Structure 1
């Protein structure tokens, strides 16, 4: 009889220790962390300011006379 009671107590103790902290009840009136240890989250955004024109190269391939491929590269700056 004593072995059965100790076995039940051991399984309950093991089961309670394996439960996640979010599943355990929180005692009323007690906060999880003190107010002084909670900090405001800071979000930092950075914008890159590019100076000068932005240039791209537009490549056009066409067939010229006699079937040759003519490649035209035009640089466009905005």
Structure 2
């Protein structure tokens, strides 16, 4: 049986070392936003601009479910 949408999104999140340093690819689910993603990945929501800068083609006010965002390493 197919996984529920939330379960599928969770399994799609993966590490990818193809960029300089490690990065994470996050697949957008309902109600995701840069602020909450920064809190999740960096422990500090104020770092949302780091995610925005890594995804210049993404509109912070119009993230699309299923869209992939690059989450840079926390360095």
Question: Could you state the TM-score of these two structures normalised by the residue count of structure 2?
Answer: 0.23
Which structure is higher in RCO with an 8 Å CA cutoff and minimum separation 6? 2
Q: Which TM-score applies when normalising by structure 1?
A: 0.22
Bigger share in strand: 1
Which one has the largest radius of gyration?
A: 1
